[in-house]
Amino acid sequence: MSDPAILFVKPKAISQRDKKMLQQAGVLIVETENPDEVKFVRAHTELSSTELLSAAAKAMTIGSWGEEVRKAFGRAVCEALLAKSAPPTNEG
């Protein structure tokens, strides 16, 4: 599988119509105040679809929708990645 095309732009630099057109063409659009300072890194750990679904389910339990769920999902994904990449402990 090839890497997706990613376009880093300043907020409101392109119209909503153009964003939709680019997204339909498979381009991921990321808005950032300083596109020239963006550094692309690869994750050393990846999550399976089951792990992502678990993170989504965890986020949806907060009881409200919208921005709070997106933040909770982001936190749950980060927690899952951290747990997966943590070195094994010698407890037990």
- Give residue 14's pLDDT: 92
- Give residue 73's pLDDT: 82
Cβ-based neighbours of 54, under 8 Å, separated by 6 or more: 76, 80
Burial letters 10-24, b for 16+ CB under 10 A, else e? eeeeeeeeebeebee
- Give residue 13's pLDDT: 93
- Give residue 64's pLDDT: 64
Specify the amino acid at residue 38: V
- Give residue 58's pLDDT: 77
* Mean pLDDT (10-residue bins), the chain, 92 residues: 81 92 91 88 76 80 70 83 72 54
Cβ distance 12 to 35 under 8 Å?
A: no
- Give residue 71's pLDDT: 82
Residue 51 tokens read as 């792990």
d(CA 31, CA 27) in angstroms, rounded, equals 13
- Give residue 84's pLDDT: 79
**H or E element that contains 31:** strand 27-31
